[in-house]
Amino acid sequence: MDVTIRLRRRRAFRRYIDGMLLSLQRFSFTERTLGLALAASAGLLAGAHLFERVGGLIPCVLCLDQREAHWTALALAAAGLMLARAFKSRLGAASAVGAAALVYAVSAGLAFFHIGVEYGYWPGPAICAGGGVDISVADLAASLNEAASGPSCEEVQWRLFGVSMAGYNLLVSAGLFALTLFAALRETRAARHFKTGAT
């Protein structure tokens, strides 16, 4: 009886996987790229928030900036998928994947800058120094140059195989930049080909 249940589960799982692969074939390369970008940014953000909430690792200012880039990329990918699937807009999907490529370039640049700060190649912004801030209305201009509360951007709170979170973000963001840029260029070429073929 256990063997029969296992066989049924295996068959159901295979049907599920086959169905997923079949449905993925209905998506264009740009839509698949947007879906991957959405999943990757969502995964990175979920991981960062888990490290903060569960692991107790407080993010520095540059870490928060890198999160903002992934929130932006996630929103662009979701908008692009909606435009492509609900409104059948290839131009909207191409615009979204192109904008996501720019955001991933910024994310990779922020991560590269953060790695340089971690290794002491260049100083981080004054707000990254760590320590307390005393912000008052009368002394707001002076307080902008003071260090913010939270860890210093030079401190590496977590590493895996010698690579910090900023290092992994650089690798992922650079890969997503290359993929989304390729998808945007491919979609643009396809649109030009379609336009010239239609005239």
Residue 60: both structure tokens together: 């520095």
Angle between helices 29-53 and 165-198 (to 10 degrees): 160
User: How much is the pLDDT for 96?
Assistant: 92
Q: Which amino acid is at 51?
A: F
Inform me whether the pLDDT recorded for 157 exceeds 80: no
How many other C-beta atoms are found inside a 10 Å radius of the C-beta of residue 129? Answer: 17
Please report the pLDDT score of residue 89 as a whole number: 78
Give pLDDT, residue 133.
43
The alpha carbon of 177 is separated from its chain's Cα centroid by a whole number of angstroms, namely 10
- Whether 140 has a pLDDT exceeding 90, the answer reads no
- Cα distances (Å, whole numbers) of residue 47 to 52, 56, 70, 101, 142: 9, 12, 12, 22, 35
Higher pLDDT among residues 77 and 154, named by residue: 77
Q: Which two tokens stand for residue 156?
A: 């590496």
- Please say whether the beta carbons of 153 and 128 come within 8 A: yes
pLDDT band at 105 (very low <50, low <70, confident <90, very high): very high
Instruction: State mean pLDDT over 23-51.
Output: 87
pTM of the model: 0.73
Q: What is the gyration radius of the CA atoms in the chain, in angstroms?
A: 22
Structure tokens at 89: 């807009």
How much is the pLDDT for 90? 80
Each residue's pLDDT tens digit, 43-61: 999 998 898 888 888 888 8
135 pLDDT above the threshold of 50? no
Tokens coding 192? 């030009």
With cut-offs at 50, 70 and 90, classify the pLDDT of residue 108. very high
pLDDT of residue 132: 41
Mean pLDDT of 185-197: 70
Q: What domains can be seen in the chain, in order of their start residue?
A: 29-198 (1.20.1550.10)
